[in-house]
Structures are given as C-alpha cells and as structure tokens.
Amino acid sequence: MTDAPADLLDRTAALVAVRSESFEEQSLADLVEQELRSLPHLVVDRVGDNVVARTDLGRPLRVVLGGHTDTVPANGNEVPRLDGDVLWGLGAADMKGGLAVMLELARRHEDPAVDVTYVFYAREEVAASESGLLELERERPDLLVGDAAVLGEPTDGSVEAGCQGVLRLRVTMAGARAHAARAWMGRNAIHRLGRLLAILEDYEPRQPVILGCQFHEALLATHVEGGVAGNVVPDRATADVVHRFAPDRDLEQAEAHVREVLAPVIEDGDTIEVLDRSPAAWPALEHPVVSTLVRRHGLDVRAKLGWTDVARFTEWGVPAINLGPGRATLAHTAEERVERASLERTWAVLDDLLAHGPDQT
C-alpha cells in the first residue's frame, strides 16, 4: 500500500477554492484537464465541461472512478478554511475531497494493475436532463465503458451499495368554484387534497433487506399549492409527491405502487403526472472488485438511501458502488467539511485497488 499523500487536504482545499456551482464548472474543468494532460500515461478527452482520462495498458479489467465537479449554491461557505485536520467549505465533502483523491491516484499510478478511467463530470446537482454524465453517454459512450465503477460520493470511506430510485409526481385534485358565502354550492379541492395528505401521513414505508443492506423507502408530499381568492371555493389543488423506492422494484412497479396507494382519493377529473423518474441500483456487493475492497479493508457496508449515479452505471451494465471521503449528512449544509482521516481512508482503499487489483477477475 502506498502511503497517503501528505497534501490530500491541501489539494482538496485548492479545489474548493475554485467556484463550480452547477452550470459554472468550466474553470474547475480547465484545471482538471490541464493537470491530467500533463500526465503522459493517460489519454485525455473533454466533452463540454466533462473531462475523462484513461490508461490503455491492455489489462483484463477496467475500473471507472467517477465524480461530479459541481456543487450546490454557496451558503456563506465558498471560501475554504483549514482548521487543523479539518477542511471547511462548499463541496469539501460533496465531492471535492473525492476529486482530490482521484487526481492524486491519476498522478501516482502510471502502471496500475487494472486499466482505469477517471471521469470528472458536470451538473450532477441539478435536474437529470442536465447531467454531464448523460452528455457523455450521448456524445462518447465509449468513454464510460468499464467492468466496475466507484463513485466518490461522500461515504466517509465506507461502501454504500446500490441506491434507491426516485419518482416525482404531481397530483391535481379537481373541485368546483363557488362564492365562499355559499360554499355548499361548490366543491373544495383543497379539502380533497387534505384526504390525500392523510394517506401519505399514514403510509408505512417498506424496509427491505437486499444482500444484507437495509433500504428504507419513503412516500411524501414535498409541495402543495391551491387557492383562488379569499372569497372563492378553490376548484384546483396540487401536491408534488416523491417516492424513494428500493432496488427490488423497477420504475414501472414503483409508479404502479404509488397509484395504488393514492387510488382511494383519485376521481374522474383528477390527474397524476410523472415529473421525473430515476431507477434504483442493485447492490453490487458480489462483484470481485467490491468484494475485494470490503474484505481486504474490513469496510462497513450499508445501503445508499439517496439516489446517485451508480444507478446510471448499473443501467449501462457497469456494477457500481459509492465510496468517498466526507459524510453525506454534511453535504449541502453550511457546516460542510471533510477530515484528513476520511480522505486517507478512501485513499488507502483505492490506492490498494489500483496497485494490486482485485483478488479475482
């Protein structure tokens, strides 16, 4: 095992100092591209603000290491601050610490035991339709080919396997307008919406265990809207509903489940519109790359309850896991930070993989 680089925390701080909120990743992409092109053992391609670097050594196994370059909007934490072994700042955990590890791995492994593809992609923190990873898939799908993938989402150096899918829907309840003084002559759509919200409040989510990982589903309203004026019975009310579902259901099964749950309050004239949908990903724990990492390093393994791009790689036939420095619970908060020990844990696992490969292929 190669000793952890002494400057991983400083390297992360340098990346945090480059603003890269979604749609503003060009400067960071320029920096990443410049560094990768300085390494003669890598073939480097750029598609928009996405940068991909690859070894081409003819190894029997190719591992993809991926990470997004964008962050959410700043919250007074855009300037990095080092406090001993802790780096505070926007993107420190999600996921410039992971990017720093990837860049250092790319620099130090000129002759890895496996071929490696390093994927630095834009616009992960916004709507799926804007994803830089999907841009790569459309323009250069050959750059995403691999036998297994590790995404540097913050897991504090543990393995978060698979991910839950996401289904976003808009439910519109119909009513009939009337003067509020003669409310009985109309039908109040907001009151009807209340019955839908009661169903969601009483919903008992599943918690299936898959390959030893316990997932925890959710079905909830995230936005409601309705009303015409203070003296009018409303004839329309809407609720945006989100369903997080475990990987033992596909998108069609998840949508059918939501419609079944809501069916008791849905009538003619009501509508359910699918706004967005992203599949779940099966835990890739049986793949030799993943099983090797877990066994060699005694890694904790748990389910990924949020959605990540492991789902995309899984769809493309590349088993994937989440493994990176930092804690996911700090992402998107003003207290976002990453610790040196977390960076070094992640480095040790991935450095060992590139130096020695998995136990079997």
Residue 281, φ and ψ in degrees, nearest 5: -125, 135
Element (H, E) at 250: none
Q: Token digits for 356?
A: 């020695």
Q: Are 310 and 151 in contact (CB under 8 A)?
A: yes
- Across the chain, the runs of DSSP E, i.e. the strands, are 43-47, 50-54, 62-68, 81-83, 86-88, 115-121, 148-151, 159-161, 165-174, 178-179, 209-210, 213-214, 218-226, 232-233, 236-245, 271-278, 301-303, 320-322, 337-339
Residue positions annotated with a catalytic role = 70, 124
Place of tokens 């390494």: 39
CA angle (8 as vertex; 3, 12 as ends), nearest 5? 165
> Among 145, 126, 79, which residue's Cα sits nearest to residue 336?
79
Q: Token digits for 263?
A: 């069916």
Q: How many angstroms separate the CA atoms of 48 and 139, rounded?
A: 10
Residue 179, φ and ψ in degrees, nearest 5: -70, 140
Q: Are 361 and 291 in contact (CB under 8 A)?
A: no
Q: How many angstroms separate the CA atoms of 28 and 229, rounded?
A: 48
Q: How many angstroms separate the CA atoms of 343 and 82, rounded?
A: 14
> Among 94, 229, 216, 75, which residue's Cα sits nearest to residue 154?
94
